[in-house]
């Protein structure tokens, strides 16, 4: 009799456990199946760069959606190969092949999405005037070409390798110009942006970033076609060694 009672007790516990498991499973939503698609694998990118690569709200991670594929590819190479320094990005792209980086670049370049309104920025009238001059005309006396001569007349970028400058937070613009000036950010030689940034004073950097950050992005914010005339300065980043995968 004691053996029979023990057996019944054990069977009762087993049945109760099974019932509890059924209840828990019924209340737990099923996980979405993993789709082996590029969009799902690139969630590692959008976790920082915002939904669909439209920029993070903190202003630190820039928009990558709609940038020229050649530019995005070059930057992925630069992070992987040590010309740009940000450990999180370097660790993410380090094991990836050139072909895979090119696939990532083409994915985000093909996204045609609207821009958010620029965040409020306080800039003095003098800095606005200086920033506009540098962006649209440059300063021949300081050997500074206009931003528009390489980044397009509308400053929305130029195919196939030059990014747009509008729709970027001022803090991000400041940090990148500062990185060019100090050598923390580099490109293939001749490094045209390093040459230009090193001609800018700290007040010039503040002025041009302030003016750019106050400009609304045009409705048709697409990169301009490849220019027929040569750029005002030689840029190795426009034709990286090895070409495209």
Q: Which CATH superfamily is domain 40-109 in?
A: Cytochrome c-like domain (1.10.760.10)
Portions of the chain given CATH number 1.10.760.10: 40-109, 125-238
Tell me which residue of 145, 147, 123, 111 sits closest to 203, measured CA to CA: 123
- How many Cα neighbours within 13 Å face the side chain of 203? 6
Question: Is residue 47 classed as helix, strand or coil in its secondary structure?
Answer: helix
Chain segment 70-80, per-residue pLDDT in tens? 999 999 999 99
Q: How far apart are CA 57 and CA 48, in angstroms?
A: 10
Chain segment 145-175, per-residue pLDDT in tens? 999 999 999 999 999 999 999 999 999 999 9
DSSP 8-state assignment for residue 57 = T
In order of 45, 46, 47, 189, the CA distances from 56 in angstroms are 11, 9, 9, 31
Chain segment 87-131, per-residue pLDDT in tens? 999 999 999 999 999 999 999 999 999 988 778 899 999 999 999
What is the topology classification, in CATH, of domain 125-238? Cytochrome Bc1 Complex; Chain D, domain 2 (1.10.760)
Task: Indicate yes or no: pTM above 0.85.
Answer: no
Chain segment 30-79, per-residue pLDDT in tens? 555 656 777 777 888 999 998 899 988 777 889 999 999 999 999 999 99
């Amino acid at each position: 009799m004691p053996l029979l009672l023990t057996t019944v007790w054990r069977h009762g516990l087993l049945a109760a456990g099974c019932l509890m498991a059924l209840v828990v499973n019924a209340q737990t939503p099923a996980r979405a199946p993993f789709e082996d698609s590029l969009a799902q694998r690139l969630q590692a990118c959008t976790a920082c760069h915002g939904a669909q690569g439209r920029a993070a709200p903190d202003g630190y991670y820039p928009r990558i959606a709609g940038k020229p594929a050649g530019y995005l590819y070059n930057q992925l190479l630069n992070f992987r190969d040590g010309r740009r320094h940000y450990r999180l990005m370097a660790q993410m792209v380090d094991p990836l092949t050139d072909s895979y980086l090119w696939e990532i670049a083409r994915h985000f370049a093909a996204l045609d999405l609207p821009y958010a309104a620029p965040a409020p920025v306080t800039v003095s009238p003098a800095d606005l005037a200086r920033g506009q001059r540098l962006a649209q005309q440059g300063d021949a006396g300081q050997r500074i070409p206009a931003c528009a001569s390489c980044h397009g007349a509308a400053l929305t970028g130029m195919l196939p390798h030059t990014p747009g400058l509008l729709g970027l937070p001022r803090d991000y613009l400041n940090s990148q110009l500062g990185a060019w000036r100090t050598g923390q950010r580099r490109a293939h030689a001749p490094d045209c942006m390093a040459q230009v940034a090193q001609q800018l004073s700290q007040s010039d950097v503040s002025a041009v970033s302030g003016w750019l950050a106050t400009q609304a992005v045009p409705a048709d914010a697409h990169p301009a076609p490849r220019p027929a005339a040569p750029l005002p300065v030689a840029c190795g980043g426009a034709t990286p060694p090895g070409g495209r995968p």
